[in-house]
Chain A
């Protein structure tokens, strides 16, 4: 273990010293089949332009290990050309003065006009572009097994009450209505949609983006918790600790009717050779149509020496190239971060996703996911929010009154 770590460190620094202007060193955690295939779209594009790709993959789903590696590399003064990064981590590095500057490319390419406004909070610092978004995921989706839907005679639910009625139908038919993985982030991700459905976009923004005390402690928030508690009746007894992809597999196999999950779940359906419309449906979480609760994968560009700058610029332009974004996201299952990319190559869920992002951006209903740390920094998102939601869902916090008070308290303590 020790030996391997040393060899790895030596390998890294060796690579950095040997780096010439024709090499892109990229840190990421896209190591699963589909993700790696998506990334190779960018790799191949850069190869055509004459840039070599130096992969620094750090496996581990949510990128925790990768973020720890990145911290070490940056602290050692040896940052990669770019790194896959999420939300507030980019702002942390920007604040610490570790990020480079690709503003000239942004001005030339008119990025400010094609990237959703809300998202630019994470890609720019004081008007300076230091990161680019490669995709947009949204979490307010439900994924429904069509065969079961037909069997129980269900229809697409339009609001939360219809949603509960549908789940009830499945329960009576003897199917697990809601496939859920009982892990804090999954329960919190579900709650994002529940709050949006219960309170609407203005309430969501007031509570989670502005952290307005009166909204956090409001009756609407209390109703949201009550609604979440209703859903607890429709999960199977063994849900605690289950991974999200196993929950998706329950829907694919027909053990469960539906899952509430971000659109990365589509990748699982794809791997299982299931087609949208034929084998499964993708609906917006009932009552959240017209809104997009997003998270996004970004590439952050670090302060690198002058000889590595050309390669960095090439990577930035490649990532923002419309064809690259289209090809990348068709494979990844997300939608392009640029709203001007044509949807011709996408399946019906992708087409709906693209249209929704565009519409939501215009209406101002394109909002960051609290559970995924796009509404607030991790101390509040992963910290306070996950804690309270998971404790409520598992009965450690018993009433919605209490949950509202605890949420407000925890958020204010973490501020």
Chain B
């Protein structure tokens, strides 16, 4: 037993000798993935590095390589604390917190509520579900323009309510620079909460019916079942939704431009619009690059711990 290896056992352990077919099977996924891997390597990570390089130069209209160290970051850092009058960067950060916070929280809450309601085996679900999901099919420009018109006091909501007779009704957020960012959040939430609903609905459908039956037999109320069993079981979906929403909020650009109309009073600035305007219209490419790197770092600060915890759980 110890010296001679039983050929049957050996076969079971090592498998048949690998033939050409098996080599191919091993290599095809790699070959197929190679071009996209190379593209991602160059066009994502390569350009990230390029932007990082530019952010240490004094590039203006065109990229150059006169390195000036941390100057651009120092500038952004000073601007972070310039509140009266608010610097563009300060406004961008504050708006990011307001918009990002509202967007993520409301999308999660509304998405979950819609998913739970839709999951009650109601009639017409087949019609309702795509209805909620439909806004996602629109581009942010369309959503933004539509909401801008809808909220415009002269032609939209306020006028309609006035025409109905409630003349003291007042809703001018979309033309009030200080409130504009909330309108951007409203439009964004409208667009995305249906998508979050679809994610949650899929997760709800994936929960084993036996567990729910067991809970029922134990006499758990519907609320307790959701609160203690279903929602905790959906933790991975929450994480995915959170990640998707957070990065959508940080990179949001077209929505804010279309809702606010070119940023009056500089009050609707977001890091993304800041980055674009400094890089391309104000000819301060290096400052724009530095802000882009800060955005990347912000996303990384959220993504890296998430990826780390996800990968660790699998091993």
Q: Do A and B bind each other?
A: yes
Q: How far is the CA of A187 from the CA of B61 in the complex (A)?
A: 25
With A238-B175, A379-B283, A383-B284 in contact, is A394–B265 under 8 Å at CB?
yes
Q: How far is the CA of A239 from the CA of B174 in the complex (A)?
A: 10
Q: Which residues of B contact A75 (CB under 8 A)?
A: 62
Q: Which listed residue, A88, A241, A393, touches B262 by the CB 8 Å rule?
A: A241
Contact B281 A182 (CB under 8 A): no
Contact A377 B88 (CB under 8 A): no
Contact B85 A242 (CB under 8 A): no
Nearest residue (CB) in A for B280 is A68
B170-217 CB contacts (< 8 Å) to partner A = 172, 174-177, 180
Contact B280 A64 (CB under 8 A): yes
Contact B177 A383 (CB under 8 A): no
Asked if B135 lies at the interface with its beta carbon under 8 angstroms from chain A, I say no
A31 CB to nearest chain B CB (Å)? 17
Contact B265 A67 (CB under 8 A): no
Q: Which residues of A contact B153 (CB under 8 A)?
A: 237-238
Nearest residue (CB) in B for A68 is B280
Asked if B235 lies at the interface with its beta carbon under 8 angstroms from chain A, I say no
Q: Which listed residue, B175, B180, B267, B281, touches A237 by the CB 8 Å rule?
A: B175
Total contacts A to B, CB within 8 angstroms? 95
B9 CB to nearest chain A CB (Å)? 52
Q: How far is the CA of A402 from the CA of B86 in the complex (A)?
A: 13
A341-380 CB contacts (< 8 Å) to partner B = 377-379
Q: How far is the CA of A134 from the CA of B162 in the complex (A)?
A: 49
Q: How far is the CA of A239 from the CA of B86 in the complex (A)?
A: 22
Q: Which residues of A contact B88 (CB under 8 A)?
A: 387
Contact B282 A378 (CB under 8 A): yes
Contact B175 A239 (CB under 8 A): yes
With A184-B266, A238-B175 in contact, is A382–B261 under 8 Å at CB?
no
Nearest residue (CB) in B for A91 is B61
Contact B280 A390 (CB under 8 A): no
Q: Which residues of A contact B175 (CB under 8 A)?
A: 182, 237-241
With A64-B280, A184-B266 in contact, is A240–B177 under 8 Å at CB?
yes
Contact A396 B282 (CB under 8 A): no
| Main SS at interface, chain B | loop
Asked if A71 lies at the interface with its beta carbon under 8 angstroms from chain B, I say yes
Q: Which residues of A contact B180 (CB under 8 A)?
A: 240-241
Interface 1/0s, chain B 31-66, versus A by CB < 8 A?
000000000000000000000000000001110000
Contact A394 B177 (CB under 8 A): yes
Asked if A395 lies at the interface with its beta carbon under 8 angstroms from chain B, I say yes
Contact B62 A71 (CB under 8 A): yes
Contact A391 B263 (CB under 8 A): no
Asked if A209 lies at the interface with its beta carbon under 8 angstroms from chain B, I say no
Q: Which listed residue, B61, B172, B265, B282, touches A391 by the CB 8 Å rule?
A: B265
Q: Which residues of B contact A181 (CB under 8 A)?
A: 261
Contact A241 B266 (CB under 8 A): no
B109 CB to nearest chain A CB (Å)? 29
Nearest residue (CB) in B for A413 is B75
Contact B85 A182 (CB under 8 A): no
Interface 1/0s, chain A 59-77, versus B by CB < 8 A?
0000010011001000100
B23 CB to nearest chain A CB (Å)? 33
Q: How far is the CA of A49 from the CA of B61 in the complex (A)?
A: 36
Q: Which listed residue, A184, A238, A396, touches B172 by the CB 8 Å rule?
A: A238
Nearest residue (CB) in B for A242 is B261
The size of the chain A interface, using a CB distance under 8 A, is 38
Asked if A340 lies at the interface with its beta carbon under 8 angstroms from chain B, I say no
Contact A182 B62 (CB under 8 A): no
Q: Which residues of A contact B148 (CB under 8 A)?
A: 241
B185 CB to nearest chain A CB (Å)? 16
With A183-B261, A240-B175 in contact, is A396–B283 under 8 Å at CB?
no
Q: Which residues of B contact A387 (CB under 8 A)?
A: 88, 266
A163 CB to nearest chain B CB (Å)? 23
Q: Which listed residue, A187, A382, A393, A397, touches B282 by the CB 8 Å rule?
A: A382
A133 CB to nearest chain B CB (Å)? 20
Q: Which listed residue, A67, A71, A396, touches B267 by the CB 8 Å rule?
A: A396
Q: Which residues of A contact B172 (CB under 8 A)?
A: 237-238
Q: How far is the CA of A394 from the CA of B180 in the complex (A)?
A: 13
Contact A379 B282 (CB under 8 A): yes
Q: Which residues of B contact A383 (CB under 8 A)?
A: 282, 284
Nearest residue (CB) in B for A244 is B262
B30 CB to nearest chain A CB (Å)? 23
Q: How far is the CA of A241 from the CA of B148 in the complex (A)?
A: 10
Asked if A192 lies at the interface with its beta carbon under 8 angstroms from chain B, I say no
Asked if B254 lies at the interface with its beta carbon under 8 angstroms from chain A, I say no
Q: How far is the CA of A8 from the CA of B101 in the complex (A)?
A: 38
Q: How far is the CA of A66 from the CA of B182 in the complex (A)?
A: 31
With A391-B85, A397-B85 in contact, is A240–B265 under 8 Å at CB?
yes
With A184-B266, A242-B261 in contact, is A382–B177 under 8 Å at CB?
no
Q: How far is the CA of A223 from the CA of B174 in the complex (A)?
A: 31
Q: How far is the CA of A397 from the CA of B84 in the complex (A)?
A: 8
Q: Which residues of B contact A390 (CB under 8 A)?
A: 264-266
Q: Which residues of B contact A396 (CB under 8 A)?
A: 85-86, 177, 265-267
Asked if A271 lies at the interface with its beta carbon under 8 angstroms from chain B, I say no
Asked if A107 lies at the interface with its beta carbon under 8 angstroms from chain B, I say no
A118 CB to nearest chain B CB (Å)? 22
B282-305 CB contacts (< 8 Å) to partner A = 282-284
Taking A390-B266, A393-B265 as known contacts, 15 extra A-B pairs with beta carbons closer than 8 A to each other, sorted by chain A number, are A92-B61, A238-B153, A239-B175, A240-B176, A240-B180, A240-B261, A241-B260, A241-B262, A243-B261, A379-B282, A383-B284, A387-B88, A391-B265, A394-B266, A396-B265
Interface residues, chain B, CB within 8 Å of chain A? 60-62, 85-86, 88, 148, 152-154, 172, 174-177, 180, 260-267, 277, 280-284
Closest A-B pairs by Cβ, 10 of them: A241-B261, A394-B265, A183-B262, A182-B264, A92-B61, A240-B264, A383-B282, A240-B175, A397-B85, A238-B175
